[in-house]
Amino acid sequence: MNFEKVNRTEKIIQFGEGGFLRGFVDWMLQKLNDNGSFEGNVVVVQPIEQGMCDMLEKQNCVYTHLIRGVEGVEKSIINVISRTVKPYADWNAYLALAENPDFRFVVSNTTESGIVFSEEDKITDVPPKTFPAKLTILLKKRFDLGLKGFIFLPCELIDRNGDNLKKCVLAYADLWNLGDEFKAWIEKENVFCNTLVDRINTGYPRGEELNLGYEDNMVNTSEYFHLWVIECDYDLEKELPFKSAGLNVIVTKDKLAMYRTRKVRILNGAHTSLVPYALLEGYDTVKSCIDSEKMLTHIRACVFDEIIPTLDLPKDELVEYAEGVIGRFANPYIKHYLSSIALNSVSKFKVRVLPSILEYIKRYNKMPETLLFSFAKLIDFYKTDMTNDDKDVVEFMKSNGVKEILSNDKLWGEDLSFLTAEVEKYVNK
């Protein structure tokens, strides 16, 4: 295959080059471009030092996306990425993005641990560590040039991701004394949307014979299902006409929380309460767990017995969604590796599973045994060398006992030492 770029106006800065954004946002933008309703390209920023931008560039940033399910197989050639920028290798190329007045949107997926504020970041760092710090410097340059702001569409799976991103940017503005005029510009000239994303993307299909007829080292795969809920007061559809492309995108002013809670607690909660346990037991994919009576029993106990009872939506609606999720997990074409889901498992557990544990205790005055078993398996998992997380988190989890781990409010947002006796029952069991 000849991976030829298509020249379009660069309109989107995208922080992250991983499989999710390429199989979700970039796939949607391809649909918009193909029907002639957008005519815009993406510049990808590699948010960390090591990444896949070099591999993308070798293919002119063009790749194949495969959607697979019981419905069949759909192949798309995604050519919406015009180029990549690596701030750790070329800081000036990154700063130059601020100079282009055509950029209108900023999309990001830097994982749950990406939207954070750190007082250790300095404006003189080349580059600073956190994504919001890098972003603040870009915004300050754009402000100094007298250009318009951006519409932010963060895809990180944290509550109120847009609000939190803006909060971090304003915190850096204060930390670095960037001035009230800059802060006012952030508030007035930029739109920070809160979003919810829902699609199982599985990246490169390792070990499979695809028979594409050409070599593509950046092939990406996903399921058919997709949902993007975007909460904002801005008329987003006039600039990103998702409906014209038949995409399952909901733009709402106030209903994001309903969709988010259902998705994060059930779908992502099922993943995160399963993965450490399953990896310890020697499983490698979500499908292999669904095919295992032992693992399927664990998933269903977590979801139907302990997660759904903590949610306020109609029970029949929750059960229907949960059964759909189990069906999506069983997709024979999806090879969703547990090792991929295991990235940053501590921060994921805090966001996806811990709220269900605490709400269950609050409502029923008893312990959710299966979810606490999952908590214990998370701790066991971090005693191994299979983890992929911040080195400080890994070192702390590896070198401390259950009580010390649960007492660390920096990890969990509060002191969880009251769970020590219950969690200890399942550690190393």
Contact 396, 422 (CB under 8 A): no
CATH code of the domain covering residue 383:
1.10.1040.10
Taking the C-alpha atoms of residue 272 and residue 215, their distance in angstroms, rounded to an integer, is 34
Contact 137, 91 (CB under 8 A): no
Which whole number is the average pLDDT over 281-308? 97
Q: 404's torsion region: left (phi>0), alpha (psi -120 to 50) or beta?
A: alpha
Q: Model pTM?
A: 0.76
Q: Is there a domain that residue 157 lies in?
A: yes
Answer yes or no: do 217 and 271 share one domain. no
Q: Among 252, 282, 317, which residue terminates a domain?
A: 252
* 412: amino acid identity, one letter: W
Q: Which of 165-169, 334-338, 401-405 has the lowest mean pLDDT?
A: 334-338
Answer yes or no: do 108 and 28 share one domain. yes
Taking the C-alpha atoms of residue 390 and residue 381, their distance in angstroms, rounded to an integer, is 15
Answer yes or no: do 296 and 247 share one domain. no
Average pLDDT, the chain: 95
Answer yes or no: do 211 and 304 share one domain. no
Answer yes or no: do 62 and 201 share one domain. yes
Q: Could you tell me where the DSSP H helices lie in 198-304? A: 256-262, 269-280, 286-290, 293-300
Q: pLDDT tens digit string along 160-215?
A: 999 999 999 999 999 999 999 999 999 999 999 999 999 988 889 888 888 899 99
Q: Is there a domain that residue 258 lies in?
A: no
Answer yes or no: do 274 and 175 share one domain. no
Answer yes or no: do 126 and 13 share one domain. yes
Contact 130, 116 (CB under 8 A): yes
Q: Is there a domain that residue 289 lies in?
A: yes
* 141: its two tokens: 């340059």
Taking the C-alpha atoms of residue 165 and residue 170, their distance in angstroms, rounded to an integer, is 9
Q: Among 192, 222, 252, which residue terminates a domain?
A: 252
Please give the torsion angle defined by the CA atoms of residues 155, 159, 162 and 167, in that order, rounded to the nearest 10 degrees: -130
Answer yes or no: do 393 and 276 share one domain. yes
Answer yes or no: do 231 and 363 share one domain. no
Answer yes or no: do 275 and 248 share one domain. no
Q: Is there a domain that residue 410 lies in?
A: yes
Taking the C-alpha atoms of residue 52 and residue 66, their distance in angstroms, rounded to an integer, is 19
Contact 157, 201 (CB under 8 A): no
Range of the domain at 51: 9-252
- pLDDT score, position 152: 98
Q: Is there a domain that residue 1 lies in?
A: no
Looking at the structure of the chain, the number of domains it has is 2
* 305: its two tokens: 């017995």
Taking residue 245's Cβ as centre, other Cβ atoms within 10 Å add up to 19
CATH code of the domain covering residue 94:
3.40.50.720
Q: Is there a domain that residue 239 lies in?
A: yes
* 122: its two tokens: 């300095």
pLDDT > 90: percent of the chain: 87
Q: Is there a domain that residue 259 lies in?
A: no
Q: Which helix (H) or strand (E) holds 375?
A: helix 369-381
Taking residue 59's Cβ as centre, other Cβ atoms within 10 Å add up to 17
Q: Among 252, 283, 308, which residue terminates a domain?
A: 252
Q: pLDDT tens digit string along 339-352?
A: 999 999 999 999 99
- pLDDT score, position 1: 67
Contact 150, 103 (CB under 8 A): yes
Give the distance between the most distant pair of CA atoms in the chain: 62
For residue 88, give the DSSP letter: T
Taking the C-alpha atoms of residue 198 and residue 247, their distance in angstroms, rounded to an integer, is 13
Contact 265, 307 (CB under 8 A): yes
Q: Is there a domain that residue 244 lies in?
A: yes
Answer yes or no: do 72 and 220 share one domain. yes
Which whole number is the average pLDDT over 394-417? 97
Answer yes or no: do 275 and 245 share one domain. no
